[in-house]
Amino acid sequence: MSCTTEIAVPLLDVNRQNVPLWDEIEAAVRQICDTGRFVHGPDCRQFEAEMAAYCGTDHAVGCASGSDALLLALMVLGVGQGDEVILPSFTFFATASAVWRLGARPVFVDIEPDSFNIDPKLIEQSITPATKAIILVHLFGRCANMAAINEIAAQYGLKVVEDAAQSIGAEYQGHRAGALGTIGCFSFYPTKNLGAFGDAGMLTTNDAQLADKLRILRDHGQSPQYHHHLVGINSRLDSIQAAVLRVKLTHLDRWSGQRSTNADRYAELFAAAGVDRLLQLPEPPSDGHQVWNQYTVRVPEGRRDSLKTHLAERKIGTAVYYPVPLHRQECFTTLGYAEGCLPETETAAREVLSLPIFAELTEAEQDAVAAGIASFANDQISEAA
């Protein structure tokens, strides 16, 4: 029996990155309270400019959440009743609900097993005369296969919306997420790589007309005030969130680097412990740079849930993103997707397990994760013997 000193390892601990910045953040927040400009204040404008510069786009438009960014993106592209939008099913719910809420039909496409991202080879067969746009998701911090997606979109005249909620700073062929399609959508929900102290979101684009219209749509469609030529929504960026995010953005690349270091270290630890046979580890992309919003392994042969339980008993936090693919959600039954129609998506939903990867994770904590997985692997071998 091997015996390791037990340390609890959280899946994510946002305090470790917020507490060291607290003095700076507190001063920024106090300044907003002093001026009383709680919504769309100067920090919002500045944060928009900084996000545009960071992503390498001409424009960035703040809004209230990543979910609203997706909704606004589809609204500004004119998606509505009778339209179809192609998207992956292996993603967070908001990617599809934006389509549904506008009265359009989500058309789900299967994923590539290695990247977990939408499989461009399967897009063309899903295109109909009603198809208006493709939403791709750069899942877990890794960019989708944009060259192939943009080629299809150009051929069929489709708009391309990037759900970059998990991928701020990720690169594909030298360009950053948010600058790879028609419109990029970001979330600053506290668990994302750049996390606010609440909800916030952002849209990026190189199209000045779309940016202007997005600024109007996020504010009830009014321009000037009390004159509505569009029906928009209330999805304004909160000044306090913008101020917090401005402080944190200056540290983002350092945090992304730490996440990469952690990912490399996991690969070494798992190889050394010989658990690379039990787990299928994520392979880095060859045409870009990922930012590791999640470190997601596959645990084949029905062992995922027992490994998750084993780690939970050792106080090691893990999560399953996502256990039920969107095409199998109860609210979408009327779309008629039977079990088995997106096989790679359904296999991934059974096999994936995300391990702690946040920037401030310590080496001792990573060792505990590896030891926990190794002890599970040993139990499996002795059971089989």
Ligand X SMILES: *Cc1c(COP(=O)(O)O)cnc(C)c1O
Interhelix angle 239-249/42-55, rounded to 10 degrees, is 40
Nearest distance, CB of residue 94 and ligand X, angstroms: 4
Task: Report helix, strand or coil for 186.
Answer: strand
Q: Which two tokens stand for residue 103?
A: 């009265």
Given the complex with ligand X, which of 66 and 372 has the nearer CB atom? 66
**93 vs 156, beta carbon nearer ligand X:** 93
Measured from the CB atom, is 270 or 322 closer to ligand X? 322
Q: List Cα–Cα distances, 90 to 103, 119, 324, in angstroms.
A: 21, 11, 8
- Residue 60, H or E segment: strand 59-63
Which C-beta is closer to ligand X: that of 91 or that of 239? 91
Helix (H, G, I), strand (E, B) or coil at 308: helix
The strand pairing partners of 88, in sequence order, are 109
CA dist., res. 200 & res. 40, Å (int)? 12
| Smallest separation, CB 311 to ligand X (Å) | 22
Give the 3-state secondary structure of residue 297: strand
Q: In sequence order, what are the beta bridge partners of 162?
A: 136, 184
CB of 312 to ligand X, least distance (A): 23
Residue 272 contacts by C-beta under 8 Å, 6 or more apart in sequence? 370
How many angstroms separate the CA atoms of 137 and 143, rounded? 8
Q: CB nearest ligand X: which residue?
A: 66
Give me the least distance between CB of 73 and ligand X, in Å please. 11
Which CB atom, from 54 or from 186, has the smaller least distance to ligand X? 186
Q: Smallest distance, Å, CB 198 to ligand X?
A: 10
The CB-of-140 to ligand X minimum distance in angstroms stands at: 9
Q: Any residues with CB less than 8 A from the CB of 225 and at least 6 apart, and which?
A: none
Amino acid, res. 1: M
CA–CA dist 263, 369 (Å, integer): 12
Q: Which is nearer to ligand X, 140 or 270 (CB)?
A: 140
> In angstroms, what is the minimal distance from the CB of 128 to ligand X?
25
Rounded to whole angstroms, the Cα distance separating 211 from 258 reads: 33
CB 167 within 8 A of CB 138: yes
Widest Cα–Cα separation across the chain: 75
Helix (H, G, I), strand (E, B) or coil at 320: coil
| Min CB(167)–ligand X separation in Å | 9
The answer to whether the CB of 124 falls within 8 A of the CB of 148 is no
Distance CA 312, CA 376 (A): 12
Closer Cβ to ligand X, 137 or 158, answer by number: 137
Contact 217, 76 (CB under 8 A): yes
* Rounded to 5°, angle at Cα 126 from 123 and 129: 120
Query: Among residues 145 and 166, whose Cβ is nearest to ligand X?
Result: 166
Task: Please say which residue, 98 or 243, places its beta carbon nearer to ligand X.
Answer: 98
Residues contributing to the site for ligand X (CB under 6 A): 65-67, 91-92, 94-95, 137, 163, 165-166, 187, 189, 199, 201
CB of 18 to ligand X, least distance (A): 17
In the complex with ligand X, the residue whose CB is nearer, 274 or 323, is: 323
To the nearest whole angstrom, how small is the minimum distance from the Cβ of residue 15 to ligand X? 20
